[in-house]
């Protein structure tokens, strides 16, 4: 891509070098640890489903009762229990939870147990391969329309009402449908079972709900003549499990950020960064496009002053993702239009930020988020702000465009608000579809100067994070003006240092399927 901003390639390379050093340190830390959610995700991938009468998943019952075994991994003890009981994975999990079978004991590491564990892992890989092949076939047959992909949120709390709303949005032009999670689900250390009809501020993310919406969007895709992507979350205390369910239920897009849970949900950083590596490994194998959460930084920090922190985080997210086997086409790196629209030349600064991201990450389908921080109850001004956002998006070649809503600051948008947003966005983007091909930016002008300044500040920040380490940077409030500590937050009690005999054949096969580089120096 020819740079319209005259960005310094040496400085960009320096940023990537620093970010990669940060990624290596993060993955070196993560590779020495496992978590309750990684072990639960392993059980889910080998076929454990369902829960007890109280709705507690069997995977939670098994892992919670076997914490002393987790430093060595749950896979081999569970495979031994399957051999002893002669049961399938779900039946075995239930028997273990109810006391009919024990984990551990003699034979945990014998050849027959290892062979069964490997066979279960191979079956998990075959299941994921099937969802990837299904997606690719549907995309080949239907296509998905021009980019940026128009991304719409549904979040009624009732998955069946969400289906109705999603189909209306597809008819109006939506290309990605995201089912927003119920408020604070990220803080639950379990995934609810089955389909749900109640939720606050969103709909619970469950395997049952994934299946319902996936089937509905497949039907809507056939009717619309284009493939519609399904989005949900691989974040929070169940990040690895969410990624696993997304891979087996054919979700196409999942929100998955290295720092979001730490900064905005106060989840312990050791837990999050350990879970992150496994979740991205699963997403890489599942062909899932991840969305990162840098847009959220500008809701707590000033969008002008903190713009460089967004870019620095994008570099870090990119470096971790690539080392975990994700390809550039899977990296929906996040950013947002969050500057005060009443300030002079704000639009120029926003274009500078968006164009800069586009040029630095040319192969990534950048996820561009709408104005929210400065939205008011004035729906007419809000509609104008969203139109400006759409113009900035199409003229800088963004990959995924989350629609803004004129009623953003008033209530959870109604379905007609979404349809109006889709209509307006399609009009703006259609009328300016090739504007990017016709424009350049003045040397020494405001847009070029702003982008170059932000890049320089991001470079300095990344050098600091490389020198001090990510834990120290988070403790100093370097991102989003939020301070966290290595021992603070939720979930630290679910982190375990691996013993020398740790085994996880599912993770081993996942690494073998993708371009996993982990923390290998210089790789």
Write out the catalytic residue numbers. Answer: 260, 295, 367
d(CA 153, CA 295): 16
C-alpha span between 245 and 131 (Å, rounded): 11
Question: Which has the closest alpha carbon to 485: 235, 257, 269?
Answer: 269
Q: Please list, residue by residue across 439-453, b when 16 or more beta carbons sit within 10 angstroms of its beta carbon and e when fewer do.
A: eebeeeeebbbbbbe
What is the spatial distance between Cα 106 and Cα 113, in angstroms, rounded to a whole number?
11
Residue whose entry in the numeric block shows the structure tokens 């128009």: 150
Could you write out the DSSP letters of every residue in 307-367?
HHHHHHHHHHHHHHHHHTT--GGGEE-EEE--S-TTSTTHHHHHHHHHHHHHHHSTTS--E
Between CA 43 and CA 88 the distance in angstroms is 12
414 φ/ψ sector (left φ>0, alpha ψ -120 to 50, else beta)? beta
Q: How far apart are CA 178 and CA 155, in angstroms?
A: 8
Nearest to 238, CA basis, from 197, 194, 278: 278
257's CB contacts (< 8 A; 6+ apart) are 235, 291, 292, 293, 294, 317, 334
Rg (the chain; Cα; Å):
23
Q: What is the C-alpha to C-alpha distance for residues 116 and 63, in angstroms, rounded to an integer?
A: 19
């Amino acid at each position: 891509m020819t740079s319209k901003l005259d960005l310094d390639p040496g400085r960009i390379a320096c940023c990537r070098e620093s970010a990669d050093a940060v990624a290596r340190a993060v993955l070196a830390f993560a590779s020495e640890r496992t978590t309750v959610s990684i072990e639960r995700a392993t059980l889910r991938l080998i076929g454990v489903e369902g829960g007890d009468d109280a709705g507690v998943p069997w995977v939670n019952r098994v892992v919670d009762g076997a914490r002393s075994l987790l430093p060595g991994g749950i896979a081999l003890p569970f495979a031994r229990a399957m051999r002893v009981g002669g049961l399938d994975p779900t039946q075995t999990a239930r028997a273990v939870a109810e006391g009919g079978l024990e984990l551990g004991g003699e034979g945990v590491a014998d050849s027959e147990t290892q062979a069964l564990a490997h066979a279960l892992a191979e079956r998990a890989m075959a299941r994921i391969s099937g969802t990837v092949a299904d997606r690719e076939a549907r995309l080949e047959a239907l296509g998905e329309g021009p980019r940026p992909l128009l991304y719409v949120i549904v979040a009624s709390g009732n998955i069946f009402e969400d289906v109705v709303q999603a189909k209306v949005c597809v008819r109006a032009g939506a290309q990605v449908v995201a089912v927003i999670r119920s408020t604070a689900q990220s803080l639950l250390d379990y995934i609810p079972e089955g389909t749900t009809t109640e939720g606050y501020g969103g709909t619970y993310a469950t395997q049952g709900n994934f299946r319902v919406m996936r089937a509905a969007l497949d039907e809507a895709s056939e009717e619309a003549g284009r493939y519609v992507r399904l989005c949900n979350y691989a974040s929070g205390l169940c990040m690895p499990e969410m990624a696993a369910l997304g891979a087996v239920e054919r979700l196409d897009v999942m929100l998955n950020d290295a720092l979001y849970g730490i900064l905005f949900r106060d989840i312990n950083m050791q837990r999050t960064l350990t879970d992150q590596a496994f979740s991205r490994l699963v997403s890489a194998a599942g062909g899932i496009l991840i969305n990162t959460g840098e847009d959220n930084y500008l809701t707590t920090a000033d969008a002008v002053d903190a713009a460089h922190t967004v870019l620095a985080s994008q570099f870090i997210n990119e470096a971790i993702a690539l080392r975990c086997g994700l390809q550039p086409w899977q990296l929906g790196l996040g950013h947002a239009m969050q500057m005060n629209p009443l300030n002079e030349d704000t639009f120029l600064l926003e274009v500078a930020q968006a164009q800069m991201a586009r040029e630095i990450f040319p192969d990534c389908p950048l996820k561009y988020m709408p104005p929210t921080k400065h939205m008011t109850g004035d729906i007419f001004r809000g509609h104008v702000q969203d139109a400006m956002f759409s113009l900035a998006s199409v003229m800088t070649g963004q990959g995924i465009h989350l629609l803004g809503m004129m009623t953003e600051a008033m209530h959870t948008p109604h379905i007609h608000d979404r349809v109006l947003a889709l209509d307006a966005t399609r009009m703006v983007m259609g009328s300016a579809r090739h504007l990017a091909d016709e424009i350049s930016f003045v040397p020494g002008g405001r847009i070029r100067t702003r982008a170059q300044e932000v890049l320089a500040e991001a470079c300095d920040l990344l050098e600091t994070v490389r020198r001090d380490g990510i834990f120290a940077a988070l403790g100093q409030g370097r991102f989003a003006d939020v301070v966290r500590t290595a021992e603070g937050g939720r979930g630290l009690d679910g982190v375990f240092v691996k013993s020398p005999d740790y085994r996880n054949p599912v993770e081993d096969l996942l690494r073998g399927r993708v371009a996993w580089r982990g923390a290998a120096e210089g790789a």
